[in-house]
Structure formats: structure tokens, C-alpha cells
């Protein structure tokens, strides 16, 4: 029984993830040069988010570096109480992302984890470098919004999108408006669910350690999202996406997945 809810979150088959180039050139004039954190759970459960991120960044004149030496952000280690494991992973990322202007994250939990690197190294030799890296970490929606988003063509028919605020994005990083601005600029109608501030139950590893409470939260969040009358749901975190998808009979996409489909001229609901 304790494993029932977590097993619902797993896909029937794991998607294939192709190899990554070390550098993806900007389309047109280069406006920024960033490093992309690929994540760990995301690479296994939904590698399409990383592919979509690359596409959207390139379309917006961003050169993307994917360091081969990068590691997991360490957030899940911290959630599980493994501080030393988190510190070891953080040290690898300090080295891997030294040479880029910004570090782009597309998973809210990863972004929050990297922004907290200075706390892992208080009073340690790595503290100053951890502060420099944390200051460079930006969610992909924030980077695009600050850069001046170059939107794709609007979808061929009107689409209503319910936006779910990931706790690690809205609460931990204070990011709420940037993803909404991107979606609206792309010609989408953005709907606000009731209890937007309520956690979906994913919460890092919470849905693994407290599956019954997490399931109740997931179902409540799914009901609120469906009640908006939206055609689909967008969010900025793989944990939330996976959790909500288990309880909702609407498509649930990462914000960049939705934008990438529009750049490709594809119907998001096809």
C-alpha cells in the first residue's frame, strides 16, 4: 500500500533520451550564453522538457552550453537528509558551470536547490564560489522574460491554459508572473485555478515518504485545475507535472514544452 501512490506516477515505459551536444548555437544574433542543468529525475521521466528548453532558448537567440561534467543539483539528497551527498554534487556543479553567464534551470526544485548552495558551504572555502553560482541561477521563464521574449506564432485555434505554480518556483524563488507573461505573449489564454498557492503533493520527496497525504493534495489540485475549464495545464516543474498528471484527465505540459510545440507550428492538443 505505501508504494501504490508513487507507482502511479511512473510511466508505463521510460522515454529514450538521446546524447547531448556540448554547445547549441543561438538562432540569429546571439543575445546570451547560458549553461543548462539537465536534472536527474527529469532526464529519466521526461527528457522532452530538456529538448524543448533547448529549442525555445535557441529561438530566442541564446547559445546553450551543456557541460558534460554537471551533476544532479543535490536537492533530493537534501530532502532525504544526506547533506554530504548534496555537498559533493554541488562541488561538481560549481566547477561545471564556471564559464557561463547564467545557469538555466527548467525544474523548480533544481533551481531552488542550486540557489541554496551557499547554505551548504557556510564558513567553508567554497562559500564565495557558491554565492557567485547561486546568483547566476535563473529559471528558464525568468531568463526569457528578462531577455525580451520572442514569441512563436499563436496557435491555430484559441487555447485555454491553466497555470500551476510550483511551490519551489512561486514560494521559494518568488517567480509567478514571468511564465504567465510568456504564455500570454504566445497567444494563449491563461486561467488561474482556485487555491493556486496550495502544494500539489509532490514536494521533492514528500510524495514518496507521505504518499497518502500527497495523494489527497494531488487530487485536490487536479480538481481545482479542471474546474477552470482549461484545455490543458502548464507548469514549471517535473515533480508537479508528474504528480498532477496522475490525477487529471487533461494534458499537462511544462511551459517550455508548450512553447516549443508552437515554435514548431504543431497543435498542442494533437
The answer to whether 151 and 182 have CB atoms below 8 angstroms apart is: yes
Q: Is 133 exposed, middle or buried (0-12, 13-18, 19+ CB in 10 A)?
A: buried
* pLDDT tens for each residue of 51-99: 999 999 999 999 999 999 999 999 888 877 889 999 999 999 999 999 9
Nearest to 45 by CA among 74, 17, 67, 71: 17
Mean pLDDT of 20-34: 96
List of domains in the chain: 11-146 (3.40.50.1860), 152-263 (3.40.50.1860)
**DSSP states of the chain as a string?**
-TTHHHHHTS-SSPPP-----SEEPPSSS--EEEEE---SHHHHH-THHHHHHHHHHHHTTEEEE--TT----SHHHHHTT-HHHHHHHHHHHHHHTTTSSEEEESSHHHHHHHHTHHHHTTTSTTHHHHHHHHHHEEEHHHHHHHH-----PPPSS--EEEEP--HHHHTSS---HHHHHHHHHTTPEEE--TTTTS--S-TTTHHHHSHHHHHHHHHHHHHHHHTTT-SEEEES-HHHHHHHHTT-SS-EEEHHHHHHHHHTT--TT-
CB neighbourhood size of 129 (10 A): 17
Name every residue whose Cβ is closer than 8 Å to that of residue 225 and which is 6 or more positions away in sequence: 162, 164, 193, 233, 244, 248, 250
Q: What pLDDT does 3 receive?
A: 53
* pLDDT tens for each residue of 157-196: 899 999 999 998 888 889 899 999 999 999 999 999 999 9
The β-bridge partners of 23 are 65
- The residue ranking higher by pLDDT, 213 or 71, is 71
CB neighbourhood size of 238 (10 A): 25
Highest-scoring range by mean pLDDT, 38-52, 73-87, 141-155 = 141-155
Q: What pLDDT does 13 receive?
A: 66
Q: How would residue 206 be classed by pLDDT, with cut points 50, 70 and 90?
A: low
Q: How would residue 211 be classed by pLDDT, with cut points 50, 70 and 90?
A: confident
Q: What pLDDT does 168 receive?
A: 87
pTM reported for the whole predicted model: 0.91
Amino acid at each position: 500500500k505505501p508504494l501504490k501512490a508513487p507507482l502511479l506516477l511512473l510511466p508505463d515505459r521510460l522515454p529514450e533520451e538521446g546524447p547531448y551536444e556540448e554547445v547549441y548555437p543561438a538562432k540569429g544574433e546571439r543575445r546570451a550564453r547560458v549553461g543548462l542543468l539537465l536534472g536527474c529525475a527529469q532526464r529519466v521521466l521526461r527528457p522532452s522538457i530538456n529538448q524543448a528548453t533547448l529549442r525555445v532558448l535557441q529561438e530566442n537567440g541564446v547559445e546553450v552550453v551543456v557541460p558534460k561534467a554537471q551533476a544532479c543539483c543535490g536537492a533530493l539528497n537534501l530532502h532525504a537528509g544526506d547533506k554530504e551527498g548534496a555537498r559533493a554534487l554541488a562541488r561538481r556543479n560549481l566547477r561545471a558551470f564556471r564559464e557561463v553567464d547564467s545557469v538555466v534551470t527548467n525544474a523548480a526544485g533544481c533551481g531552488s536547490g542550486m540557489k541554496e548552495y551557499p547554505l551548504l558551504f557556510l564558513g567553508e572555502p567554497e562559500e564565495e564560489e557558491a554565492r557567485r553560482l547561486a546568483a547566476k541561477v535563473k529559471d528558464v521563464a525568468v531568463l526569457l522574460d528578462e531577455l525580451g521574449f520572442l514569441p512563436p506564432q499563436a496557435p491555430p485555434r484559441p487555447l485555454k491554459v491553466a497555470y500551476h505554480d510550483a511551490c519551489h518556483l512561486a514560494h521559494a524563488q518568488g517567480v509567478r508572473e514571468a511564465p504567465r507573461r510568456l504564455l500570454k505573449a504566445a497567444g494563449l489564454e491563461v486561467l488561474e485555478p482556485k487555491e493556486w498557492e496550495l502544494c500539489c503533493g509532490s514536494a521533492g520527496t514528500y510524495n514518496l515518504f507521505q504518499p497518502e497525504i500527497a495523494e489527497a493534495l494531488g487530487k485536490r489540485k487536479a480538481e481545482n485545475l479542471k474546474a477552470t475549464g482549461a484545455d490543458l495545464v502548464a507548469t514549471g516543474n517535473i515533480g508537479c507535472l508528474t504528480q498532477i498528471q496522475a490525477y487529471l484527465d487533461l494534458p499537462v505540459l511544462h511551459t517550455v514544452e508548450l512553447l516549443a510545440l508552437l515554435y514548431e507550428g504543431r497543435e498542442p492538443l494533437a
